[in-house]
Amino acid sequence: MVFLDFEQPLESLYEQLEKIQQVGEEGDVDVSEMVRELDNKIRNKRKEIYSNLTGWQKVQLSRHPERPYTLYYISQMCRKFTELHGDRCLRDDKAIVGGLGSLDGQTVMIIGHQKGVNTKMRQYRNFGMANPEGYRKALRLMKMAERFGFPVVTLIDTPGASPGLEAEEHGQAEAIARNLFEMAQLRVPIVCVVIGEGASGGAIGIGLGDRVYMLEYTWYSVISPESCSSILWRSWDFKEQAAEALKLTADHMFEFGLIDGIIREPVGGAHSAPEEMAKLLKRQIKKAISEVQDMTPDERIEARINKYASMGVFDVRPSEVEGKE
């Protein structure tokens, strides 16, 4: 088990538990009472810790090394899944995966960022940072889904689009912009869920949809707290403050009306009960698809565009002279 810094009290409780269990196994002492007591303590402590998480702690949870990623959720949610590779142009990006899946009999196109589960795989997946080819693969799959009337489901989990020489040469900006443009007018339902990190253009590049949700311990922002700290505070040390200032948690995003709902995670986070998390995720995705499936494509597109058009907060100055003086 990996414990985050704010979970330290839990770690020592777990250590105690382990010791007691060892004693129980070795001798004839009955430890069941003590084990039960400790279990209770752990449960309460965990509840206590998880009911007061700061923005930064949620960011840490979203990056938890044991957190489930896209392919895990797909394997849990879909009885059948066939991964489809490549952008038909240059290569197959490993940081975005996609394919045809079946959600209880309903064929869907599932696309998502994929992070690696160990050091080697993290490199292979480029830490979930997609190149233009990844966004173009996603678009190819979405256009295919459109041709055959399959709803599109996207799972977002990226620290950002890949910054690099090749990414720029191949048009990272164009690839993301094109996806936004095409997703806005895609004729099939689109449901997006932030399952981990939702950083900036890299996230929204597969994140424009009829319904957008966030898991409870995820974040969505125009910039990562670290980069924000380095630019605005001119130092890497203010990530906690930046995380608070950016108001990047699911609760904030829902309060601002920028997402359609929050999918609650099991106490202890998605990684502590991944199967349960996958069930909750699947239920919400199915519900969301059924909510928008009965609209005509034109109605759906209009509603989608209007939803995004209404996002923004500004003031209207009564007269020009007043404001500028």
Partner 1 sequence: MGWFKRLKDGIQTATRNKKEAPEGLWYMCSNCKETSTMKELKENFYKCPHCNYHVRIGSYDYFDLIFDGNYEELYEELVSRDFMNFTDLKPYTERLEEAWKKTGLGDAISVAKGKVNRRPLVIAAMDFKFIGGSMGSVVGEKIARAIDHCLENRIPLMVISKSGGARMMESAFSLMQMAKTSAKLTQLARAGIPYFSFLTDPTTGGVTASFAMLGDINFAEPGCLIGFAGPRVIKETIKRDLPEGFQTAEFLLEHGFLDFIVDRKDLKETVSDLLYFFDSN
CA 136 to chain CA mean position, Å: 20
- Nearest residue (CB) to partner 1, 70 versus 126: 126
Does 193 bind partner 1 (CB under 8 A)? Our answer is no
| Angstrom distance (rounded) from CA 33 to CA 14 | 16
DSSP 218: -
Residues 246 and 232 sit within 8 Å (Cβ to Cβ): no
Tell me which of 220, 250, 285, 286 binds partner 1, using CB under 8 A. Answer: 220
The CA distances from residue 255 to 65, 117, 240, 320, in Å, are 28, 33, 21, 32
Please say whether the beta carbons of 162 and 172 come within 8 A: yes
The minimum distance between CB 27 and partner 1, in angstroms, equals 56
Q: Which stretch binds partner 1 (CB under 8 A): 41-49, 102-110, 270-278, 314-322?
A: 314-322
| Site for partner 1 contains 168 (CB under 8 A) | yes
Residue with tokens 């001798």: 27
| Residue 232 found at the interface with partner 1 (CB under 8 A) | yes
Task: Determine the size of the site formed for partner 1 (CB under 8 A).
Answer: 61
Per CB under 8 A, 143 contacts partner 1: no
CB of 198 to partner 1, least distance (A): 9
**Interface segment toward partner 1; rule CB under 8 A; list 46-54, 78-86, 93-101, 301-309:** 301-309
256 touches partner 1 (CB under 8 A)? yes
User: Residues 248, 225: contact at Cβ < 8 Å?
Assistant: yes
The tokens for 263 are 């999918």
Contacts of 197 (CB under 8 A, 6+ apart): 59, 62, 63, 128, 156, 157, 158, 159, 203, 218, 219, 224
Q: CB of 201: closest distance to partner 1 in angstroms?
A: 4
Residues in contact with partner 1 by the rule CB under 8 A? 161, 163-165, 167-174, 176-178, 180-181, 184-185, 200-201, 204-205, 207-208, 220-223, 228, 231-234, 238, 241-242, 245-248, 252-253, 256, 258, 304-305, 308-309, 311-320, 323-324
